[in-house]
Amino acid sequence: MQEIAYVNGVFCPMEQATVSINDRGFQYGDSVYEVIAAYGGRPFRMADHLHRLGTSLSALRIELDLTTLKIESLVREGLTRCGFDEAMAYIQITRGVAPRTHIAPPGIKPTVVMTFRPLPQVSAPAKEHGVALMTAAEIRWAMCYVKATTLLPNVLTRMDARAGGFHDAIFVAPDGDVREGTSSNVVMVRGGRLVFPCRDASILHGVTLLTVTQCAEHLGIACEERPVHIDELRAADEMFLTSTTEEVLPVTSLDGRPIADGQVGAITRRMMATYHDLARGLGVFQDRRRNSA
Annotated active-site positions, please? 147
Q: Given the rule CB under 6 A, which residues bind ligand PLP? A: 35, 180, 183-185, 204, 206-209, 242-244
- Of the two residues 98 and 209, which places its CB atom closer to ligand PLP in the complex? 209
Strand, coil or helix: 252: strand
Give the nearer residue to ligand PLP in terms of CB position, either 94 or 185. Answer: 185
Instruction: Decide whether 108 or 151 has the Cβ nearer to ligand PLP.
Output: 151
> 64 vs 207, which CB is nearer to ligand PLP?
207
Q: How many Å is the Cα radius of gyration of the chain?
A: 19
Nearer to ligand PLP (CB atom), residue 208 or residue 292: 208
For strands 247-254 and 131-137, give the pairing: parallel
* Rounded Cα–Cα distance for residues 188 and 113 (Å): 36
Q: Are 186 and 239 in contact (CB under 8 A)?
A: yes
Name the residue nearer to ligand PLP (CB basis): 31 or 97.
31
Q: How far is the CB of 121 from ligand PLP (least distance, A)?
A: 16
Min separation Cβ 282 and ligand PLP, Å: 20
Report residue 119 CA to chain centroid gap.
Answer: 13
Query: Least distance (Å) from ligand PLP to the CB of residue 20?
Result: 26
Q: Please report how close the Cβ of residue 10 comes to ligand PLP at its closest, in angstroms.
A: 26
Q: How many CB atoms lie within 10 A of CB 38?
A: 25
Q: How far is the CB of 178 from ligand PLP (least distance, A)?
A: 13
CB of 88 to ligand PLP, least distance (A): 11
